[in-house]
Structure 1
């Protein structure tokens, strides 16, 4: 599933200069605004069969995988449901909880790292998901910052997903027999949102059942959403100073599957999402219920999504799930 940058995409990817500084300490930059188009009709319900998500919270374990794809170093941080007490910080290499848990691949933004998103991602893990977050070789903090390399990141995620799923059958691994290998989502913020959209468009990974896009745009990866039905949740601040809200909305409008858009009227590119407690609770709770529905097939979780999304008048919710 490897896909390198092609000349036909180089011109369009130059527009991604607006993504420079998309980590939590981003400075204000010019943004690109995509044309808005009417939304297409949604297709039928997701392929994940009906089921029930765990009702209680888990403790959270954390560990590292050292991966390499054709010379591209891809260290992956894994947060996962752990046995023992709930709450508190994630415990390094803790024993995994009993059960089989869906997998969520998370992609960080430009100049970011997986640990920047730990507050959100540990909440996903505590709710019953294994979260795998690669550190990308050219867009992470401390790298050369080559924005063009974003177009190679969908293939990085697909490679990392293959390696993560293989842990389910690896003798002696702490996650052996703990992964629901047939229930997988992709998520990402900013440049990681571009990466995530690409996994459902130009670099479609058919193993993916759902997507969550934070402050993302389709520049460079297109909006030719393809493959089996995969529900999408978009989250975007209306005051985003890096990726214009209209650009994210334009990508959302092109999604042909069940979808929803959580809009934050006072939200910027990520600081409010990652740093404001009330906003983070709304985003975390909404995304958890979305993942419970789309990966566990939990119909009751789907019913709770609109309530969580509109709690406290922090966000508005366009719901086509």
Structure 2
């Protein structure tokens, strides 16, 4: 398919189709996704989005709608840890959900053609050579694995490579850092939260909040910048000084988890991701360049770093 710059403007009409069932053998519950896309435009790039713990394909509308309006096709799976599945910390299945999450993203990527065909008229408008994975919180670790990060075992030995050849860029939003500073609770319940970013070679944007103090780590908000500092270049870091873990409310307006609700902050995060990916995909360099220029006048409210 020839390269075509997607249609992008604030008033872009978008539509969502759900649920679409994706083949996922061995999964306890059917894997379902939602697809959100602009109603016009050709050569549309794809974002596969991994939600944070307990969320679902119905969350993150402020992000997803803005990405779709910017010309992206967004595919959102519901992972097993969603509230609607009722699998809590003490459930014996919880210990392996991190692997199922990664398998979910692989299933979506492997069956992308079939997914797109279930949305009328969309498949011919999609550029399958430009696919990104993005995740928030636990979804950040899930997406990071698809970008090449590995999980260290109790002896510090890196686990298997879960990267996917179809993915050429990504973004990690409030993604957990290394596992050397986990709280006792996290060590007991989340032993897989030990990412090794040294193998995460795929280009990615890392987004971190300056007020994001995790109850799972003994470190401060800088824990959420590990994916940037400890991974190979090329990487970029958007640090938002006053942002908490939901980065202004990216999971949804007035949700219980949002302690720092700020629609402007959500727009900044959404536009940073779309601008970064458009630049990484060589579709449009202007939005990312404009954001970098704006960083010089942000008065410390947010900063952009690159390596």
Give the TM-score category using the shorter length: 0.7 to 0.9
Report the equivalent of 1:90: none
CA distance change for structure 1 residues 245 and 167 in 2, over 3 Å: closer, same or farther? Answer: same
In the TM superposition, 1:16-27 aligns within 5 A as none
**Count of aligned positions:** 255
1-side partners of 2:272 and 2:295: how far apart? 5
| 2:235 paired residue number | 259
Where in structure 1 are there 5+ consecutive unaligned residues?
1-48, 83-96
Q: 1:273·1:283 contact (CA, 8 Å) conserved in 2?
A: no
Per-residue CA deviation, residues 148-186 of structure 1 (Å, 9 max, x unaligned), is: 412331221011122223445x49843221211110000
The SS at the match of 1:257 is: coil
Number of the residue aligned with 1:215: 174
Q: What is the TM-score when the length of structure 2 is the normalising length?
A: 0.74
Query: Could you say which residue in structure 2 is the equivalent of 1:4?
Result: none
Distance in 1 (alpha carbons) for counterparts of 2:304 and 2:197: 22
Mapping 1:16-95, distance limit 5 Å? 52-57=5-10, 58-64=12-18, 65-72=20-27, 73-82=30-39
Deviations 1:58-81 (A, max 9, x none): 211100211241142211011101
Give the aligned partner of residue 163 of structure 1.
111
Task: Measure how far apart 1:111 and its partner are.
Answer: 1.2
What is the deviation of 1:264?
Answer: 1.6
Give secondary structure in 2 for the equivalent of 1:78. Answer: strand
CA 1:136–1:55: 2 relative to 1, 3 Å: closer
Once superposed, what is the RMSD of the aligned Cα atoms?
2.6
CA distance in 1, matches of 2:85, 2:5: 41
| Aligned twin of 2:199 | 225
Q: Which structure is richer in relative contact order (CA contacts within 8 A, separation 6 or more)?
A: 1
- Which of these residues, 195, 206, 211, is aligned with residue 234 of structure 1? 206
Residues 283 and 309 of structure 1 are in contact (CA less than 8 Å); yes or no, is this contact kept in structure 2?
A: no
- Measured in 2, the distance between the counterparts of 1:212 and 1:224 equals 16
Question: Given the alignment of the two structures, is residue 136 of structure 1 paired with residue 79 of structure 2, yes or no?
Answer: yes
TM-score, normalising length from structure 1? 0.71
5+ long unaligned stretches in structure 2 = 89-93, 151-161, 178-192, 251-260
